[in-house]
Amino acid sequence: MTIKLALPAGDARPHVNQLLSEAGLATTGYEPGSRLMRSELSQEGLVLRIFREKDIPIQVALGNYDVGLCNSVWLAEQQVRFPLQRVVCIGELPGPAVEVWLCAGAGGGLAEGELPATKGVYGVRIVSELANLADLVAVNLRLPAYKLLHVYGSVEAYPPEDAELAIVMAASVEEVRAKGLLPLAMVFRGGLSLIANADALATKPLGEVIGRLAPKLVAASTLLQPPRPGKGRMAGAGTRDTAVVRLAVPDGHAQRHAPAFLRHAGFNFEGYDEKSFVRRPKSNVEGLEVKVVRPQDMPQLIAMGMFDLGIGGQDLLYEHQCKFPASPVEMAVDLGINRYRIGPVVDEAFPARTTAEAITIWNALGRPVRIASEFPAMAERFALDNHLRFASIIPVAGASEGFVPEDADFLVEGVETGSSLIANGLKLLDPFMHSTSCVILGASPVTARRDLLHDVVERLRGSVQPTEG
């Protein structure tokens, strides 16, 4: 009988690979530097799939995978909201720990380690990529009418201008301080966990995998302690400064292209270049305030009036508009940089060369077609536009190549070079979108400096290079 094992991508991959090797578990295809997201080891009776850590508890709870390894913070994030899900923590393995801290920005009237008094404080803004844990903290603090800003990452960018409190993951309290935040209380601590599907434990011979890892188990360090209201002072929710134009620029992959374009347009943001950045670069334009955030969050931030414009991807803007068709954001300028294609991605052996051929095959299946994507709203729009009779959308955090064909029929995926698809035996059908970086603009900007906003947009527009042909 085959045992399905879900393993983490990213920074955890080298450590987990070594741990599995020491336990005598073959890890062909999981070595550091490998681009493979899927491997089958018939001699070991193992099927390996590599996912983003936050997706692993979901896949194990659904029964798609029997056993998984991930940091316990992602298990806690799911169990806080879904306490009855079918996933069991077998134990903790040696590895780096993660702490989750309640933090504030500097200058909020609190001292380090001082919990805020929340009586009579309305509309406090809390930012986090751990939405369920953040909700738990807000309820325990008894925050009335709090506002939760759920973001993809870069949480440290938001206090104090855009949030009063933050729920932040860090390796230690020293890292929290290094992010420029004021640590108030540790909410959670946990390490690498071995988890299993409850039904698979009862019906499958998982001992071959769990038994080999059992000698590696260590004393559990997992701790969940939501804070209670304190006695410290806390100001009410902050307000947006309308005397400046606020521009969001990207970190991550898009950062490779944005600084050079900005310099060409005459903008010099001290502390922001192709390889490094500070969260609040100094602008050479008076009245223009700049902050570095995740591009996935830009459409939401601009729609909420927190920023007036941003440099992000057309794909991310389209995903936002598919989810919120009446959202007050629009593309002002196509910058023509950071190009890649988006379309349906299928297994290399799938018997279709075009999307039209694929639709015919999928509609004949007589069951829901499973679509995995980092762009779930866009995937749903694709299904509607192409008249798929039944579709089931699987939102994922990334590393989606591991889903096809066993756990999804196809992906809606962005492809730059295609090398990752080739490495994982996948192919792109007809792209339905060619995405580039663009200027995202609020339809009704909050700033009072409309003259400056217009000037910034026009300078960016004037720096676009004409495309060949």
Q: What is the pLDDT of residues 308-354, one digit of tens each?
A: 999 999 999 999 999 999 999 999 999 999 999 999 999 999 999 99
pTM over 0.75: yes
The number of CA neighbours under 13 Å toward the Cβ of 383 is 25
Q: Is 356 helix (H, G, I), strand (E, B) or coil?
A: helix
What Å distances lie between residue 153 and 51, 222, 286, 296, CA to CA? 18, 23, 28, 9
Q: Quick one: 356 exposed, middle or buried, by C-beta within 10 A (0-12, 13-18, 19+)?
A: exposed
CATH fold of 245-332+439-462 reads D-Maltodextrin-Binding Protein; domain 2 (3.40.190)
Phi-psi region of 389 (alpha: psi -120 to 50; beta: other; left: phi over 0): alpha
CATH fold of 340-435 reads D-Maltodextrin-Binding Protein; domain 2 (3.40.190)
**Domain range annotation of the chain:** 3-95+189-221, 99-188, 245-332+439-462, 340-435
**CATH superfamily of domain region 99-188:** Periplasmic binding protein-like II (3.40.190.10)
pLDDT at 469: 44
List the pLDDT tens digit at each of the 469 positions of the chain: 789 999 999 889 999 999 999 998 877 888 888 888 888 876 678 899 999 999 999 999 999 999 999 999 999 999 999 999 999 999 999 988 999 999 998 776 788 888 887 776 788 899 999 999 999 999 999 888 899 999 999 999 999 999 999 999 999 999 999 999 999 999 999 999 999 999 999 999 998 899 999 999 998 888 999 998 877 666 556 788 999 999 999 999 899 999 999 999 999 999 999 999 999 999 999 999 999 999 999 999 999 999 999 999 999 999 999 999 999 999 999 999 999 999 999 999 999 999 999 999 999 999 999 999 999 999 999 999 999 999 999 999 988 999 999 999 999 999 998 899 999 999 999 999 999 999 999 998 999 999 999 999 999 999 998 765 4
Q: Give the torsion sign (CA, 127, 253, 17, 47).
A: positive
CATH fold of 3-95+189-221 reads D-Maltodextrin-Binding Protein; domain 2 (3.40.190)
3-95+189-221 and 99-188 agree in CATH topology: yes
